[in-house]
């Protein structure tokens, strides 16, 4: 598999002439922030090539997830588009999921991108690096509670159907009447994210 992925690369770049390649895997709060800062500091001036690999197309700040569950937030309005962020902050965004690492060749192997209908959008490929940052985040811990893994809807932004299914779930479970679903959470992290990223992005397009 590694050989098949590697064969798709197009090399030939003079190593002495090219800038330092920094490859970041994972576009969560840590990976996206790092790519943004390095792009502004190094990518803008051509001192380094910053590449972010992330399988999702957009990022949502996790402290906002309780608002999705309550159905009180427009997911499309609050998501941060990776491609747009990369354009504004001088780094490259490549979609896909890391499936392997070749340390000898200093290359990250990324699987194919396949649409829901089975169409392959992007083939498997490899990305070389000089500096590698793994910021793949974490998974939800169900603590072994019976039935959770099989029946719960994940709140993680990578779950493509969560934005549509989660707001429906509380309403489907409630009887007809004046009952409400209430979700609590801190707004300080939410406001911090909006100030640093989304608000700034919107001003750039205004």
Q: pLDDT over 90 for what percent of the chain?
A: 42
Q: Does 28 reside within a domain? A: yes
DSSP for 127-173, please give it. EE-SEEEE--------TT-TTHHHHPPP-STT-TTHHHHHHHHHHHH
Q: Across the chain, what does the average pLDDT equal?
A: 76
Asked if residue 148 belongs to a domain, the reply is no
- Long-range Cβ contact pairs of 190-195 (< 8 A, separation 24 or more): 190/61, 190/63, 190/64, 193/61, 193/63, 193/64
Q: For residue 60, what are the β-bridge partners?
A: none
Residue 80 lies inside a defined structural domain of this protein: yes
Residue 88 lies in a domain: yes
pTM of the full structure: 0.67
Name the pLDDT band for 166 (thresholds 50, 70, 90).
Answer: low
Rounded to whole angstroms, the Cα distance separating 99 from 112 reads: 10
C-alpha–C-alpha distance, residues 191 and 8, integer Å: 43
* Structural domain includes residue 71: yes
How many domains would you assign to the chain? 1
Residue 64 lies in a domain: yes
Residue 124 lies in a domain: yes
Q: In Å, how far are 72, 98, 138, 165 from 161, measured between CA atoms?
A: 17, 21, 19, 6
pLDDT of residue 90: 97
Q: Is 198 exposed, middle or buried (0-12, 13-18, 19+ CB in 10 A)?
A: middle
List pLDDT tens digits, range 11-58.
444 666 889 999 999 999 899 999 999 999 999 999 999 999 999 888
Q: Is residue 41 part of a domain?
A: yes
Most confident of 9-13, 84-88, 195-199: 84-88
CATH number at residue 125: 3.50.50.100
Domain range for 88: 2-6+19-137+157-172+184-197
């Amino acid at each position: 598999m590694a050989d098949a992925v590697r064969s798709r690369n197009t090399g030939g770049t003079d190593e002495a002439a090219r800038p330092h390649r920094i490859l970041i895997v994972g576009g969560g709060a840590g990976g996206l922030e790092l790519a943004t800062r390095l792009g502004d500091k190094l990518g803008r001036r051509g001192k380094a090539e910053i590449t972010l690999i992330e399988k999702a197309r957009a990022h949502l700040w996790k402290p906002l997830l309780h608002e999705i569950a309550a159905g009180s937030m427009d997911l499309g309005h609050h998501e941060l588009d990776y491609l747009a962020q990369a354009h504004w902050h001088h780094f490259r965004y490549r979609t896909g999921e890391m499936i392997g690492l070749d340390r000898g060749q200093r290359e990250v192997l990324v699987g194919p991108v396949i649409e829901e209908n089975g169409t392959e959008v992007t083939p498997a490929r490899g990305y070389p690096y000089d500096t590698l940052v793994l910021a793949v985040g974490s998974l939800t811990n169900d603590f072994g509670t019976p039935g959770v893994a099989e029946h719960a809807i994940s709140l993680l932004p990578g779950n493509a159907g969560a934005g549509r299914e989660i707001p429906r779930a509380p309403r489907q479970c409630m009887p007809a009447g004046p009952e409400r679903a209430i979700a609590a959470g801190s707004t300080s992290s939410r406001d911090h994210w909006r100030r640093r990223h989304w608000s700034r992005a919107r001003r750039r397009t205004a």
